[in-house]
Structure 1
Amino acid sequence: MPAHAQDANTPRYRVELPSPALSGIPMNVTVEALAPAEPAEDAVVLRIGDGRYPLEFDGQGKARVGDVTFPTGSPEVQVLVGETAVTFATSEGAAVATSANADVIPGWLSILPPIVAIGLALLTRRVIPSLLAGVWIGGWFVAELSVGGLWTGLLDVIDTWVLRALVPADGDTGHMSIMLFTMLIGGMVGIIYKNGGTPGIVERITGWANTRRRGEISACAVGTGVFFDDYASMLVTGNAMRPITDAVRVSREKLAYIVDTTSAPVATLLLVTTWIGFQVGLIGDATKGLEGYTQSPYGTFLQALPYMYYPILAVLFMWAICITGRDFGPMAKAESRAASGPISAQAEEKGESGDEFAPKEGIPHRAVNAVVPILVLLGVTIAALFITGSGDNVMDIVGSADSFSALLWGSLLSVIVAGILTVGQGLLSLGETVEAWLIGVKAVLEVLVILTLAWALSDLTQALSTATYLASLLGEALSPALLPTIIFLLAAAISFAIGTSWGTMGILLPLAVPLAWTILAQNDMAGPVGMPILYATVAAVLGGAVWGDHTSPISDTTVLSSATSHCDVVDHTNTQLPYGLVVGVAAVVLGLLPAGYGVPWWIGMLVAMAVLLAVIYVVGRPIEEPRIEPAEKPATGGGARHSTAR
């Protein structure tokens, strides 16, 4: 596709190279023609090192080349028209030349930043410096793999990666929305503690939830009930149930596990949640170009639901753990410790203080002052989902809704209502109400820092093509029967490493679904006989993404569930991970693997649940109910601020 003659300083093409590229890993490169097109006389070729890639331009003047393999070092890049090298640029405003050198690093380096961050967090029990180290190392690899690049990577931590996490280049306001409604809800929680509303709820509910088992069941019910959005579920369940579970000596680790398990695993399953539109949209994009595939995206999602073994089993396992009152591993130790004395006293021994959340002395404890703002939060959010969404049925409306705006509206109005109730009844002055709101905001500052660094690390993993490297480990020859299992493991690894389920779904579904369809066609199974494997592959991506998000110490759901439960992030990870591993193994070995060989999904589900119940009764042990002295009052102060200090 030759172009009109141009000045030597004017680029004829723009070449979009991955920066850095991974050596030996197939990657994508886009070439855009910047000059008016003429009839093709000479072939246009992209040369990278010794590799030559013919370019075929579309109507917009773009050519996309897949499976470009970069050699090690700094290979030369050229655009050849015939055999003549022509001018091009690698980005807007870049220097124009007839050749450039690609920045290439070994593929295994792309997984090092998340490994460092996760490893240091588990080793040092300090999340913020661990995330900073991961971002620094990733920034080093992106800048330049040299001593100078190490210094540049350090400077880029704040002015590039943290700033980009808060203000993305594409203008997406999602991260800032999460920070704003987390601050608003944190402030609302501060008000309803100080005005006596939360202590009033505790005093009422502890009439029934007066044992550990009942306290845990109540938390499960609240978390499952707030099913329409994972963030709303975590923020409401943790803050509302913490003083109640504290009163009956349920460990903060157990509450964080319940809060985490009733968020993403529930939201990915139920048909009226803020996740549905995103998931169905991805499925539609992934199946759109499949030759001979006629199932609708929503129909594909419904067919895949029975094969979502991990989310389903995770929720059932959580209910079974709480109903039986049995625990094992680090969670059993945490529960035994919690039974030994008041939770608030144990928090103070860790250097935490709950005085800031103590209600004002001399005011009545009225549950209505907490219940009404929480109902406003839920009611306005649900109403806003219907206002901002569109479609012919409830599932379409909620799935297409602007969930961030809905949560912002709900959290803002809940703060206003809490303030009006507080000042109107003379419980606190206007100044005291504002101070209570600020106390609540201050309590979530640490989680906001952790979230920002986790987002920065996630952006770096995209820049380093971490998911592409992990996906390349699949290999080319796969048995159709093993495909769902392998895809689940890959999705779980990617999600655990980058700390986001939505990011993993967005990366892997467009790769996994066409791969499954191609493999089925190669084995003469691209029809009714092979559809269960395709559905199981879709479910494997969704379920594996939820597993990684559920168990990773750098995921936003792990951080938020820890924060709202006032539980150390590392403690939450250490106690939840064994449960996630047990359920994950059951989902793969007893669910996806047999399904790949034609075993009906319901048989695998029943067998897996039976095995998980056996694990609970054989490995788990009942935690003795604590003897709570009559003089011991419930922890109406709500416990300590979230802290990673030990």
Structure 2
Amino acid sequence: MKSISTIIGVALLFLAGLCYFINWHALVPAFTVLGVAIITRKALEPLIIGCAIGFILLANQGGSEEYFPEGKGMIFPLNMFDGMFTSIARDAHDQGLIWVILVCILYGAFVQLLNVSGGIQAVGRYSEAHVKSKKQSLIMTYFLSFFFFLDDYLSALSVGNTMRPITDKFGVSREKLALVLSFVCVPLTIIFPISTWTIFYGSQLTAIEGGVLNGAGKVITSPIEAFLGTIPYNFSAWISLILGALVVFHLIPDSKGIKAAEAEVKPYEPEVAKVKKNPAKQGKLVYFILPLLVLIWCTIFPYPFDMDYWGSLEPSTEVIFGSIDALRGIVTAVVFTYMYFLLFKVIKFNKISKHFVLGLETITFVLTVLGFTYLLKDVQNALGFNEFVASHLQGISWLNGATLPFVVFALVSWICWATGSNWGIYAILVPTTAIMSHTLGADFWLSQGALASGTVWGAAACFFSDNRVLTAQSCKVDMMKHGISQFPYQLVIFGVSSVLYLVAGFVL
């Protein structure tokens, strides 16, 4: 397996060099990151190397000054140091990177508080009473993920930390636990009409020039309503959920990588606790359920004193769904959990404070990787990555109304896989796809569904995407091992989805 990975990695580095010599500079950082990541099986170092090469190209060849205006004329590595500050400042202004950082660190603190209270262990004890086999532990992991549809970050962190002790007990490799999460976490957020992805993607659809019309011929103003039209055509998400069910119910065999990981699992040896005169109190299930309900409720609905929302006499989908805020939910849940545990003496104050800070610290590496992921995205944008893709998409001679959905899905899938970025793709390709579907006579919703489906596949298949980082962290597994072991399944999802988009393009 390692020799094959090395060959693929070297081939990708060769492609990076080839792209440089034919002046396709926008592709060089992406191929470099992928090549180094596959060879070294590391997450952070390849991103740093890719960013460095991107800034070397910007210093020598130039690029768009829109992304790093202050760095004009700077030599490497000064332009990279300046670019890091510029990228962070821009994303802070756009509520991008800072939003992700706040959500991530607070989720880390939230999970840590639930863990130290014994709430997660209580879920484990409850599950153990009903889970009697290895197969059942995987099935529970799969279906438990459905309760965390609001956000893929929430799903990856919560389900992984909750189910890891149980799957460990029944001899499930952590690579397989992470595999099951990869089947569900991201796809659910693009299928359920209430999620952070829904709001962002739907808002891009409603922002299309000229508007998007519903079945009655009226312009759609609600992001949720606009998003609903894409759900039936998110083929890769549906196939991912189906394939995940087939895996957990053992209806298809494990891949070679998963089999190897399963064979390396050591026999479970529970620790023998010493009998104490005053044994510590066991956590209760309510310590997990109540904070989680607060998290979900406050993510979906505003606070009770928000009369602009609750005072509305004519509720609409825009009013109901337009208020979803993952940051508001996790901030409220953390404050509630902290005060609840403190006032009801679930945990002593010093212990709460200690583990709250510990929860923030555990997410530091994740945030570092995410930061360089955003920087890589900006470097590639400065090199003209999105314009390069859009121009070559329009230059395909055999592109027509029937083939457009497949081309959009395939292209977007590999862009997201190569860059680890998905949300940024929407801003560029949602309006481009809308124009091309109208010009070529393709089905609008099928084409937009293909775009959404491609970003889902890319985020799930990418070795260093934010969801891969969080899934690996919660499952306590090496990120590159997880990425490589689940990739064969992602190729199956890609292949089946591609065929469906080709068929649907000719039928619809």
TM-score range, shorter chain: 0.7 to 0.9
Q: Per residue, is there more strand in 1 or in 2?
A: 1
Segment of structure 1 superposing worse, 575-584 or 405-414: 405-414
- In structure 2, the residue corresponding to 1:286 is in which secondary structure? coil
Amino acid at match of 2:448: V
- Residue 482 of structure 1 deviates from its aligned partner by 1.1
Q: Larger relative contact order (C-alpha < 8 A, sep ≥ 6)?
A: 2
Checking the alignment, whether the CA contact within 8 Å between 1:513 and 1:534 is kept in structure 2 is: yes
* Pairing 1:228-627 to 2, within 5 Å after superposition: 228-286=150-208, 288=210, 294=217, 296-297=219-220, 301-324=227-250, 326-338=253-265, 340-342=266-268, 362-368=279-285, 369-384=287-302, 392-394=315-317, 397-421=320-344, 424-425=345-346, 428-474=347-393, 475-477=395-397, 478-520=399-441, 533-589=443-499, 591-598=500-507
1:312–1:181 distance in 2 versus 1, CA, 3 Å: same
Amino acid at match of 2:242: L
| In structure 2, C-alpha distance between the alignment counterparts of 1:296 and 1:249, rounded to whole Å | 54
Task: Name the TM-score, length of structure 1 as normaliser.
Answer: 0.65
Amino acid at match of 1:551: A
Checking the alignment, whether the CA contact within 8 Å between 2:206 and 2:212 is kept in structure 1 is: no
- Residue 291 of structure 1 deviates from its aligned partner by 12
Amino acid at match of 1:375: L
Checking the alignment, whether the CA contact within 8 Å between 1:249 and 1:343 is kept in structure 2 is: no
Checking the alignment, whether the CA contact within 8 Å between 1:232 and 1:407 is kept in structure 2 is: no
Structure whose alpha-carbon radius of gyration is higher: 1
- Residue 316 of structure 1 deviates from its aligned partner by 1.5
Runs of 4+ in 1 over 4 A off after TM superposition: 104-107, 148-151, 289-301, 385-391
- Residue 570 of structure 1 deviates from its aligned partner by 0.5
Amino acid at match of 2:118: G
Superposed CA deviations along residues 416-443 of structure 1, whole A, max 9, x for unmatched, are 434445xx14xx5422332222333322
Segment of structure 1 superposing worse, 387-396 or 257-266: 387-396
- Residue 471 of structure 1 deviates from its aligned partner by 2.6
1:517–1:560 distance in 2 versus 1, CA, 3 Å: same
- In structure 1, the residue corresponding to 2:149 is in which secondary structure? coil
Instruction: Give 2:5's aligned residue.
Output: none
| In structure 2, C-alpha distance between the alignment counterparts of 1:456 and 1:167, rounded to whole Å | 11
Q: Could you tell me which of 107, 110, 120 is aligned with 1:185?
A: 107
Amino acid at match of 2:391: S
| In structure 1, C-alpha distance between the alignment counterparts of 2:151 and 2:164, rounded to whole Å | 20
Segment of structure 1 superposing worse, 198-207 or 398-407: 398-407
1:562–1:343 distance in 2 versus 1, CA, 3 Å: farther
Checking the alignment, whether the CA contact within 8 Å between 2:180 and 2:248 is kept in structure 1 is: no
Checking the alignment, whether the CA contact within 8 Å between 1:138 and 1:153 is kept in structure 2 is: no
Task: Name the TM-score, length of structure 2 as normaliser.
Answer: 0.82
- In structure 2, the residue corresponding to 1:262 is in which secondary structure? helix
**Number of paired residues?**
463
Amino acid at match of 1:307: Y
- In structure 2, the residue corresponding to 1:206 is in which secondary structure? helix
Checking the alignment, whether the CA contact within 8 Å between 2:92 and 2:98 is kept in structure 1 is: no
Amino acid at match of 1:121: A
Checking the alignment, whether the CA contact within 8 Å between 2:236 and 2:454 is kept in structure 1 is: yes
Percentage identity across aligned positions? 25
1:188–1:367 distance in 2 versus 1, CA, 3 Å: same
| In structure 1, C-alpha distance between the alignment counterparts of 2:407 and 2:506, rounded to whole Å | 14
Checking the alignment, whether the CA contact within 8 Å between 2:406 and 2:502 is kept in structure 1 is: yes
Checking the alignment, whether the CA contact within 8 Å between 1:196 and 1:363 is kept in structure 2 is: no
Aligned pair 1:109/2:18, yes or no?
no
| In structure 2, C-alpha distance between the alignment counterparts of 1:171 and 1:311, rounded to whole Å | 31
- In structure 1, the residue corresponding to 2:76 is in which secondary structure? helix
1:181–1:279 distance in 2 versus 1, CA, 3 Å: closer
Amino acid at match of 1:503: G
| In structure 2, C-alpha distance between the alignment counterparts of 1:289 and 1:178, rounded to whole Å | 29
- Residue 559 of structure 1 deviates from its aligned partner by 1.3
Superposed CA deviations along residues 29-69 of structure 1, whole A, max 9, x for unmatched, are xxxxxxxxxxxxxxxxxxxxxxxxxxxxxxxxxxxxxxxxx
- In structure 1, the residue corresponding to 2:283 is in which secondary structure? coil
1:381–1:344 distance in 2 versus 1, CA, 3 Å: farther
Superposed CA deviations along residues 69-95 of structure 1, whole A, max 9, x for unmatched, are xxxxxxxxxxxxxxxxxxxxxxxxxxx
1:409–1:176 distance in 2 versus 1, CA, 3 Å: farther
Superposed CA deviations along residues 114-161 of structure 1, whole A, max 9, x for unmatched, are 221122111112211111101111122223339x99983323334422
Aligned pair 1:156/2:79, yes or no?
yes
- Residue 582 of structure 1 deviates from its aligned partner by 0.3
| In structure 1, C-alpha distance between the alignment counterparts of 2:167 and 2:355, rounded to whole Å | 23
Amino acid at match of 2:123: I
- Residue 309 of structure 1 deviates from its aligned partner by 0.8
- Residue 175 of structure 1 deviates from its aligned partner by 2.0
1:178–1:292 distance in 2 versus 1, CA, 3 Å: closer
1:445–1:291 distance in 2 versus 1, CA, 3 Å: closer
1:105–1:189 distance in 2 versus 1, CA, 3 Å: same
Checking the alignment, whether the CA contact within 8 Å between 2:43 and 2:369 is kept in structure 1 is: yes
1:292–1:193 distance in 2 versus 1, CA, 3 Å: closer
Amino acid at match of 2:361: K
Amino acid at match of 1:333: A
Instruction: Give 1:61's aligned residue.
Output: none
| In structure 1, C-alpha distance between the alignment counterparts of 2:98 and 2:199, rounded to whole Å | 21
Q: Per residue, is there more helix in 1 or in 2?
A: 2
Amino acid at match of 2:331: L
| In structure 2, C-alpha distance between the alignment counterparts of 1:142 and 1:457, rounded to whole Å | 12
| In structure 2, C-alpha distance between the alignment counterparts of 1:158 and 1:164, rounded to whole Å | 9
| In structure 2, C-alpha distance between the alignment counterparts of 1:576 and 1:419, rounded to whole Å | 41
- Residue 544 of structure 1 deviates from its aligned partner by 0.7
- In structure 1, the residue corresponding to 2:469 is in which secondary structure? helix
1:210–1:152 distance in 2 versus 1, CA, 3 Å: farther
- Residue 543 of structure 1 deviates from its aligned partner by 0.5
Instruction: Give 1:124's aligned residue.
Output: 40
Instruction: Give 1:214's aligned residue.
Output: 136
